[in-house]
Structure 1
Amino acid sequence: MTLRAVYPDGAFGEYVFTADKKRIDLEYLYNLLCIPSRYSTGLPPERFPLVIENSLCFSVFYQGRQIGFSRVISDHSEFASLWDVFIDEPHRGKGVGQALLKYIFEHTRLRGIFRWFLMTEDAHGLYQKFDFKTEIYNPYIMMKVNLS
């Protein structure tokens, strides 16, 4: 697949990409990711800043307003896990999500990572363009425990 280039300055047409956490609109993100919705984690507001602080975060801006986001959890050597990829509805279908993923995978702190993980309910087609596979190839099983 051929993507339109993400320009060296972190732009894609009128869209600007950044990993600068100072530019994140925390209220926008909390309302998007934590207020009861399809994407909700149910995370209390006082804990949300820790999610941002302990993740490598990527934001997308259009005309100065945040319209997209994703974050990565990684050891910056062997593995990375992609989380919370989101582009606001009016900006979908324009290649912005693909450009965001390209920006993330080419980020200097993530180059050389050879084991990427993600979970998705409905965006399989997008991630398959980046060689993510839906078939289970590994005998390990993801497990979960809620402590609290």
Structure 2
Amino acid sequence: MDGTLRIDTSREALDRDMIHAFLAEQAYWSRGIPRETVERAIEGSLCFGGYLDGRQIAFARVVTDGATFGYLADVFVLPQYRGHGYAKALMAAVMAHPQLQGLRRFSLATSDAHTLYAGFGFTAPSRPQNLMEKLDPDIYTRQPGRP
């Protein structure tokens, strides 16, 4: 299982069934996410698939304007493939991508992978008092039609 991870940014190569299943059923940040929402997110992002022996085992996407900012999201390696350096390989490919060079701000949110991202230069916000967000954490699991 310690093969070389092949990284591809082709949306056509993505295993969308696997991506949706992982995000909807296993990821703490997107449990219950509808398939159509995942499809829209993929179409609006620069996507990175990680492939081992022709099978997709990893994913990441970046929402970016390609000039000033990027937001890294939905980074994962399937559980059975963790511990082999594949997340680092995926992140190295993300950080090296030509479209993501020279960004003034590159951000992400994580609850459990600070060490991974710190290895690629990510830190806590230098001025958190300047950041704001509008968060609806239950949007995917709330009953349709209810606020």
TM > 0.5 fold call:
yes
CA distance in 2, matches of 1:89, 1:22: 23
C-alpha displacement at 1:44, in angstroms?
2.0
The superposition leaves residues 96-133 of structure 1 with CA deviations (integer Å, 9 ceiling, x where unpaired) of 11111110111121122231100000101111111211
RMSD across aligned positions (CA): 2.1
- Quote how far apart the aligned CAs of 1:48 are: 2.4
Q: Distance in 2 between matches of 1:82 and 1:31?
A: 20
**TM-score if structure 1 supplies the norm length?**
0.82
CA deviation after TM superposition for structure 1 residue 47, in Å: 3.0
Structure-1 separation of matches of 2:133 and 2:94: 26
Matched, 1:125 2:115: yes
Give the TM-score normalised by structure 2: 0.82
Q: Provide structure 1 residue ranges, at least 5 long, that are not aligned to the other structure.
A: 1-11
Q: Alpha-carbon deviation of 1:81?
A: 0.6
**Contact 2:3/2:52 (8 A) holds in 1:** no
Moved more, 23-32 or 110-119: 110-119
Query: Which structure has the highest helix share of the two?
Result: 2
Which runs of 5 or more residues in structure 2 are unaligned? 140-146
Q: Residues 72 and 137 (structure 1 numbering): CA distance in 2 closer, same or farther, change over 3 Å?
A: same
- Partner of 2:130, secondary structure, is coil
Identity of aligned residues (%): 34
The runs of at least 4 consecutive aligned structure 1 residues that moved more than 4 Å come to 145-148
Map of 1:143 onto structure 2: 133
Match of 1:96 in 2: 86
Q: Identify the range of structure 1 (105-114 vs 56-65) with the bigger mean alpha-carbon deviation.
A: 105-114
Which residue matches 1:22? Answer: 12
Letter in structure 2 aligned against 1:137: S
